[in-house]
Amino acid sequence: MRRVLYCLLALPLLAFGLSVRAQQGSQSPYKVEFNPSEDVIQLNEGRDGKKGVHVLVKFAISLDSKDVDKVEGDYKLVIEENGKRVKVVDLPTLSKVTSDLSVIMALDTSGSMKTLIPLKKDKNDKPTFVSRADMARKASDTFLGALPARAECGLVLFDHEIRKTLPPMLSRPPILKDIAETEPRGGTAFRDAAYESIKLLSAVPKGKDRALVLLTDGADVNSDRSLDEVIAFAKDQRVRIYTIGIGNPGKGDKVNTALVLDRSGSMELPADDNDLATPKIKALHAAGKAFLRMASEDKGRISLIPFSSTVDTPRTFTTRQEAAAKKKANPAYKDLSDLIQALTPQGETAMLDAVYTGIAALQADGASGKRAVVAMTDGIDNSSRRRVEEVIDRAREADIRLYLLGFGRKNEIDTVTMERMANETKGKYFYAGNKDALVKIFEELSIELHDDGIDEETLTRLAKETGGAYYPAQDVSKLQFILEQVGQSIQRKGYEIEFPSLNPRNDGSLRRVALRLIHGGGDSADPGIVVGTGGYQVHGLIIAEMHPVIYLVLLAVLVALILLPALIRRPASRAA
């Protein structure tokens, strides 16, 4: 009796061993790359014009995880629908076809794209300068020319916000026109631009290959979308991202800024006679918040120091990221933007004392990275105890640059003193005669301070984790060549097979399609994936074929297990 039991218990192990051996013996070095949700497409008529439900199947063949152009050996691809063979194809005879492509070009139009690049020298040995924006325009033309005529292309232009979007289309002139007419300005939000591009591509009909080409010359300091959020969205929509970084890689240094703002009584007056309805304090509210908005989210550390007859206590240096976290934890928390909005005019002007306080605050903070004081005033200093020489000497000793902004009527501003302070500390002096000019200066200055070069780590992750590639373009003169390369590399080639469905009616029934790689007409060498066709619910299932003998063995095991209780009870009853 024991021998019978041992044999019965050994049968499942024997069957399992035979199954594994059958599967291992049939393994092929080639693999069918086949995505159920995208690679099975229902057609309402065949390419030959015949009516009825047809199915288009797209797939690739890989060897050691790399796509191959040709399969060597006696391999066949068997296509089944609902378990019945509908087509058998000799793989070595198949030719690759270029996939239908939809691509979005996301182009950086931030203020740093105005940077001039020396290209070549003329006959007098003088270099010719061209802006990054002009180089990007020419390269865009080259990129569009490298795409096949049937490829759809769309556009997203961005700075610190999305400026223009065009959905994928066959026509190229509208894209080139918008690129040519858009002038650089503002900051950089390429994560938001990538997300918007993916959203446009998500509306593309199923079956088209989707790609995003993102070109930028700076680190992202203005996006709301996180990097992980963009990558997840791209993977979900099967969008490959190709990134191009113009310029030199950034160092990732912190930028520490003391923002010194005049709130003296004269700030309640208008800046000029053309805008009498807007007091200077309102313009300062907008400009100050613009400066904060353009600062690096996690690297830009800013302290606010308002002043009038006296100087307020400096706020703790904080990044936008840290301030957002504090506000989330405590909605009553006042961030720098709230404090700027609450400034009201009163008192006289102690600009020199305020700048000196800003320098001292930066020194006391002691953080590494860039350090600068950005000070705005609308009048002549009439309340400070510090002399201009003291302020300049302390700034130079601490290696802190002074950026001075004069706002309002020129005859009411001490331009000479502010220019001296800026020049002797390697900073800059700016003048704004109205609100729009002030906001623009604050934006551009914030960008200049926080522009640290290309964020190669982020651009590389965007590309690598979505199946694209990253292209560094430190030499901007090679940008056209790089974009031409990108235009060629995003055009994928693969295999396509069309066949009429066994059920020609469009009745909504489920159609399961399986691809099987067969070698020499033997057993399946690669499990097929069963999916629903284009218009139906998608159902994923892995099917593994086994030799008929294995099915008989498993059936015998099942029967034996059913009979086992009876066999055990029978000797026991005899003994009784």
Question: Global pTM?
Answer: 0.67
- Rounded distance, CA 179 to CA 110, Å? 13
pLDDT exceeds 80 at position 269: yes
Token pair in block for residue 251: 């160092």
Residues 91 and 114 in one domain: no
- Rounded distance, CA 117 to CA 115, Å? 7
What residues are paired with 63 via a beta bridge? 30, 66
Residues 481 and 391 in one domain: no
Highest-scoring range by mean pLDDT, 86-100, 122-136, 217-231, 395-409: 395-409
Q: Which domain holds residue 439?
A: 255-450
Q: Is residue 551 part of a domain?
A: no
pLDDT exceeds 50 at position 419: yes
Nearest residue to 462 (alpha-carbon basis) of 158, 235, 171: 235
Provide the mean pLDDT of the chain: 84
Residues 482 and 513 in one domain: no
Highest-scoring range by mean pLDDT, 157-166, 473-482, 522-531: 157-166
- Rounded distance, CA 361 to CA 303, Å? 8
Nearest residue to 520 (alpha-carbon basis) of 71, 183, 130, 86: 71
Q: Is residue 560 part of a domain?
A: no
pLDDT exceeds 60 at position 266: yes
- Rounded distance, CA 255 to CA 453, Å? 13
Coil, strand, or helix at residue 239? strand
Block residue for tokens 């934890």: 329
Q: Which CATH number does the domain housing residue 84 bear?
A: 2.60.40
| Range name among 437-446, 472-481, 511-520, 531-540 with the lowest pLDDT average | 531-540
State what percent of residues in the chain have pLDDT above 70: 85
Coil, strand, or helix at residue 260? strand
For 497-530, write each residue's pLDDT tens digit: 888 888 887 777 777 888 888 877 544 444 433 3
Coil, strand, or helix at residue 109? coil
* pLDDT at residue 151, as a whole number: 92
Q: Is residue 304 part of a domain?
A: yes
**pLDDT band at residue 10, thresholds of 50, 70 and 90?**
very low
Nearest residue to 496 (alpha-carbon basis) of 211, 204, 96, 33: 96
Coil, strand, or helix at residue 76? strand
Token pair in block for residue 155: 């556009």
Residues 446 and 460 in one domain: no
Q: Angle at CA 569, nearest 5°, toward 567 and 575? A: 115
Q: Which CATH number does the domain housing residue 111 bear?
A: 3.40.50.410
Q: Is residue 22 part of a domain?
A: no
Residues 301 and 430 in one domain: yes
- Rounded distance, CA 142 to CA 132, Å? 15
Residues 338 and 368 in one domain: yes
Q: Is residue 517 part of a domain?
A: yes
Residues 275 and 301 in one domain: yes
Using the 3D structure, point to which of 423, 450, 477 is the last residue of a domain. 450
**Does residue 507 or residue 372 have the better pLDDT?**
372
* pLDDT at residue 222, as a whole number: 85
Q: Is residue 573 part of a domain?
A: no
Strands 401-407 and 370-377: parallel
Residues 290 and 202 in one domain: no
Q: Is residue 262 part of a domain?
A: yes
Q: What is the mean pLDDT of residues 127-137?
A: 89
Q: What is the mean pLDDT of residues 271-296?
A: 91
- Rounded distance, CA 377 to CA 92, Å? 77
Q: Which amino acid is at 98?
A: T
Q: What is the mean pLDDT of residues 395-414?
A: 96
Block residue for tokens 């002074």: 402
Q: What is the mean pLDDT of residues 431-445?
A: 94
Half-sphere exposure of 29 (CA within 13 A, CB side): 9
For 23-42, write each residue's pLDDT tens digit: 333 456 787 777 666 677 77
Block residue for tokens 């007419």: 181
Q: What's the total number of domains in the chain?
A: 3
Q: Is residue 552 part of a domain?
A: no
Residues 245 and 283 in one domain: no
**pLDDT band at residue 22, thresholds of 50, 70 and 90?**
very low
Residues 54 and 123 in one domain: no
**pLDDT band at residue 250, thresholds of 50, 70 and 90?**
confident
**Does residue 491 or residue 568 have the better pLDDT?**
491
Q: Angle at CA 301, nearest 5°, toward 300 and 306? A: 120
**pLDDT band at residue 72, thresholds of 50, 70 and 90?**
confident
Residues 443 and 514 in one domain: no
* pLDDT at residue 525, as a whole number: 41
Residues 378 and 483 in one domain: no
Nearest residue to 299 (alpha-carbon basis) of 355, 360, 250: 250
Q: Which amino acid is at 174?
A: P
Coil, strand, or helix at residue 210? strand
How many other C-beta atoms lie within 10 A of the C-beta of residue 459? 24
